[in-house]
Structure 1
Amino acid sequence: MKSFLFIYFLTIMSSMAIAQFEPNYDETKVPEFSVPDPLTSYSGTKIENEKAWSKVRRPELLAFFENEVYGKVPGNLDDISFKLIEENTNAFNGTAHRKQVQVTLEKDKKSLSFTILMYLPKTTEKVPLFLGLNFYGNHTTTSDENVIVTSAWSMNNEDFGIDNNTPTEKSRGVRINRWDITNIIASGMGLATIYYGELDPDKNDFSDGLHQLFYEPGQEKPKADEWGSIAAWAFGLSRAMDYLVQDSAVGKVIVFGHSRLGKAALWAGAMDDRFAAVISNDSGCGGAALSKRRFGETVGRINESFPHWFCDNFNAYNNNEEALPIDQHQLLALMAPRPLYVASAQEDEWADPKGEFLSAHYATAVYRLFGKTGIDTIEMPEVNTPIQNTVAYHIRTGKHDVTDYDWKQYIKWVKKVME
């Protein structure tokens, strides 16, 4: 009984701490901090060329993010297999080729499957393809009644047809607004999407999803330096890439993500250089935004609210961002020299648009080593005025979301940088 009361007390106190959090939205209250130099190694060595970046600096930065922020994957799969479970060459009003591919991962006689929904323009040539995770099920991204309804656990939302944590037929098409499939297809590009809950349910419970495939006997949660949910979602994106690289219709793949799934897209892009380009849409804290600014959502707030997203080691920096030897611009730099797009929304102060912009700016130093153009100015662009270099950025009007405006910019940019 005492144990129960103690746990209950801690839960109440934690909830109160979250409820009482007051984010800073005042630039004059941003603490003074030094931006860690992406081109100076931990030993103090100046990185002056591509080779030194690739052999010295990049590996040590990647190792820090892997061990202290997102967590490492504890082992390798035993097997991965693919099964085409549905196909239509005359989909989307006759404009597209639809595929639904089941990916099955196996480890220690356990397995997990997820489904890739793909739309490709009708052509015999390989096409660039956007790959991104979705929040409520593949069937929510389109009104196409042939898309299979996802059956995995999902966040309850009556408006989205999620009942008892299970997506239903009512949820078909409720997220069309975030996936501009019509214009993606019309542009000659493709789209592939996966429901992120099939990879790892977004809850503070590691008993299901990808993690349980890798547990040692008796293990119930990841170790302190092992993967949280963001790393699991990123791992799933790479396993989808395992399929896409052998699909004869698919050319270069651009990994895309919004909000927490933008964090996953960035980590996938850092870990897997098969992704030809990376897009972060409103990814905020733990994504593109600089942590040391402590503007909007902070490291402590995100770890308190979503303790399953990052590895436990990241808790050492709760309300202690000044102790971080890195910051998120160095995560962005791990994409170099591949094209990178960071996008923000004017009303999305929680995600710190200025911190996202500055992160792209400070990552540019690494892109210069490769002769690539990024964000040279430290002054943010005007709203709805994109900067579209190898490192690209825009801030648009509106709130935390993915809009047709965003997709218009991404399509234009991909056509430019993929030439």
Structure 2
Amino acid sequence: MTTSSGRPRIHPLIVMLVAGTLTVAGATTLLPVTAPAEAAVLAAGVEDEGAGCAVPALPEAGALPSITKLPDPFLRLNGTRITSATDWQCRRAEIKKLAEKFVYGEKPAKPASVSGTVSSSSISVNVAHNGKSSSFSARVELPSGTGPFPAVVVLGGFGADTAAIKAAGAAVINYDPYAVGKEGTPRNNKQGAFYSIYGASSSTGLLMAWAWGVSRIIDVIEQSNGSILKADATGVTGCSRFGKGAFVTGAFDQRIALTMPIESGSAGAPIFRGIPGEGAQSLSSAYGEQPWLGDAFGTFTGSPARLPVDTHETVAMVAPRGLFVMDNPHIANLGPKSASVAALGGAEVYRALGAGSNITYWSDVTDGTHCASRAEWRTPLQQHIQKYLLGTGNAAGTMRISSRAAGNLAEWRDWPTPVLGSTPPPASSGPPPSSGPPPASGGCVATVSVNAWTGGFVATVQVTAGAAGTSAWTVGLTLPSGATITGIWNANRTGTSGAVQFTNVTHNGRLGGGQATEFGFQATGSSGGLTPTCSST
């Protein structure tokens, strides 16, 4: 299917949904990934695929309850949970609207007129909307060889290693975010190309303004003749404040095939709810330092638990496209523990969509210098470019979480991860059917997948009912010597080490024949070989 301009509606490169690899501080574990009926598309053909979704009225800030756990990314605003991959598009649209209203400010749709030029050395952008106009430009560096080339937009000239990017075969677009949204301005007098169009008192923060600027660059590339840069193979990267910008840019434009934020800190990847307890830059400091976040976020700096959205859902907005989050465990002010929780939480959406191999979080680095050029990242950086921008690689995503700053997802999660198929099950049919092992003739079957790192692991257990169904179930397993459970969700537990039993909670004990549910736990120590048993009544 093509648009009126002839551009493919979806990225032609399709990733095979194979088992992902999760490696944290040296330990490697194969992760079973359940694939939905459709393969995971790496990039969309439009900026916002969910623009046509009917999003219910959003709550007002004064009516928001305090929720200490991370919001359930699979829970719709109407209180029902999504059950199919096709549901995700409109659930993502809800998350987008929540994030715009309470965190970043609104990202306007494409302006009435966007024009410009693409050359081997620069891109010019001219925007006109509602009688107002603005313009800005970006510098282009081409790799060796013959184009057209994919390209990585580098915010502020401060992101992933540009030499490695070009050596991998991608162009570099050096984008100055300050031309679109200047720092050092008061919130009621914001300056730059974005605010020339939408007003100096716009409530939209700089991060979203910067994201808008990258989207307009992509518009111009799409309109060019395609001889220099490819219109459907764009990545984005940045470090520190520009890492915040890269994170938001990739989340809010689905044409971006690869998002690579680096050491983004508060207002970037770290979960807002975790920042106060980690000793990272406080939310009030991040909000006040620069108008990065939207004006509405000011009411949440002292009460992030009232936010109806958090950054694990910003991570999820990138799914199933490529995401490579690079972090620094040596600087607590950057909130690396909270960032690892955001990555692990968002990875659950990737896994549910059958795209678990498309996300990488890497904080296992030795050099503690902020925004250093790190040898550990060079090879995976080039592998990501090959996979998502060139279509010549298939390296699986990894989770290399440093033991210096490993967050505990179990402390923040009380929701299960569904297996999302291509179509929803019949109404009132209970939990979605399992696409794992065939159901037993009676009783139940339990299977386990593990995300492991040096010193800890997360285990997800799927319980599948036999033909007769269940009214209650019990799962038993024996943990390796030295392993201790530190947190659990969607099950009751007896014991924390050795032989442990798990039983259903109220909402997930009754399963129809062949139906499945999940629970999970996080533990310290080695995962070893976990062999669960299952019994039911």
Give the TM-score, by structure 2 length.
0.54
CA 1:75–1:244: 2 relative to 1, 3 Å: closer
Letter in structure 2 aligned against 1:303: Y
Letter in structure 1 aligned against 2:192: G
Q: Note if 1:284 corresponds to 2:265.
A: yes
Letter in structure 2 aligned against 1:302: A
SS in structure 1 at match of 2:142? strand
CA contact (8 A) 2:300 2:306 kept: yes
Q: Distance in 2 between matches of 1:111 and 1:277?
A: 30
Structure 1 counterpart of 2:287, from 297, 303, 308: 303
CA contact (8 A) 2:181 2:195 kept: no
| Aligned positions of 1:187-266 closer than 5 A | 187-205=168-186, 206-215=189-198, 220-222=200-202, 226-245=203-222, 246=224, 247-251=226-230, 252-266=233-247
SS in structure 2 at match of 1:341? strand
Q: Note if 1:371 corresponds to 2:339.
A: no
Letter in structure 2 aligned against 1:329: H
Structure 2 counterpart of 1:184, from 165, 168, 186: 165
| Aligned positions of 1:56-67 closer than 5 A | 57-67=91-101
Q: Distance in 2 between matches of 1:183 and 1:284?
A: 24
Which structure has the greater CA radius of gyration? 2
Q: Note if 1:120 corresponds to 2:142.
A: yes
Q: Distance in 1 between matches of 2:369 and 2:100?
A: 31
Q: Distance in 1 between matches of 2:137 and 2:200?
A: 26
Letter in structure 1 aligned against 2:86: K
Partner of 1:411 in structure 2? Answer: 382
Q: Give 1:74 deviation, angstroms.
A: 5.2
Q: Distance in 1 between matches of 2:200 and 2:359?
A: 41
Q: Structure 1: which 5+ runs fail to align? A: 1-31, 88-97, 135-140, 142-174, 374-388
Q: Distance in 2 between matches of 1:369 and 1:207?
A: 40
Partner of 2:411 in structure 1? Answer: none
| Aligned positions of 1:257-406 closer than 5 A | 257-293=238-274, 294=276, 295=278, 296-306=280-290, 308-373=291-356, 389-395=357-363, 396-397=365-366, 398-405=368-375, 406=377
Q: Structure 2: which 5+ runs fail to align? A: 1-66, 394-537
Q: Give 1:364 deviation, angstroms.
A: 1.4
Instruction: Report the count of equivalent residues.
Output: 312
Q: Distance in 2 between matches of 1:241 and 1:416?
A: 20
CA contact (8 A) 2:270 2:340 kept: yes
SS in structure 2 at match of 1:191? strand
CA contact (8 A) 2:258 2:321 kept: yes
CA contact (8 A) 1:114 1:194 kept: no
Q: Which runs of 4+ in 1 moved over 4 A?
A: none
SS in structure 2 at match of 1:309? coil
Q: Note if 1:33 corresponds to 2:68.
A: yes
Q: Give 1:82 deviation, angstroms.
A: 1.2
CA 1:185–1:312: 2 relative to 1, 3 Å: closer
Structure with the bigger percentage of helix: 1
SS in structure 1 at match of 2:237? strand
SS in structure 2 at match of 1:400? coil
Q: Give 1:333 deviation, angstroms.
A: 0.1
CA 1:130–1:309: 2 relative to 1, 3 Å: same
SS in structure 1 at match of 2:318? coil
| Aligned positions of 1:56-135 closer than 5 A | 57-73=91-107, 77-83=111-117, 98-134=120-156
Q: Deviations over 1:70-109 (max 9, x none)?
A: 111457534222135xx6xxxxxxxxxx411221222344
Q: Distance in 2 between matches of 1:409 and 1:346?
A: 18
Q: Give 1:274 deviation, angstroms.
A: 0.6
Q: Note if 1:47 corresponds to 2:82.
A: yes
CA 1:122–1:110: 2 relative to 1, 3 Å: same
Q: Give 1:179 deviation, angstroms.
A: 6.0
CA contact (8 A) 2:160 2:237 kept: no
SS in structure 2 at match of 1:241? helix
Q: Deviations over 1:140-194 (max 9, x none)?
A: x5xxxxxxxxxxxxxxxxxxxxxxxxxxxxxxxxx7xx66333322222221111
Q: Distance in 2 between matches of 1:268 and 1:213?
A: 20
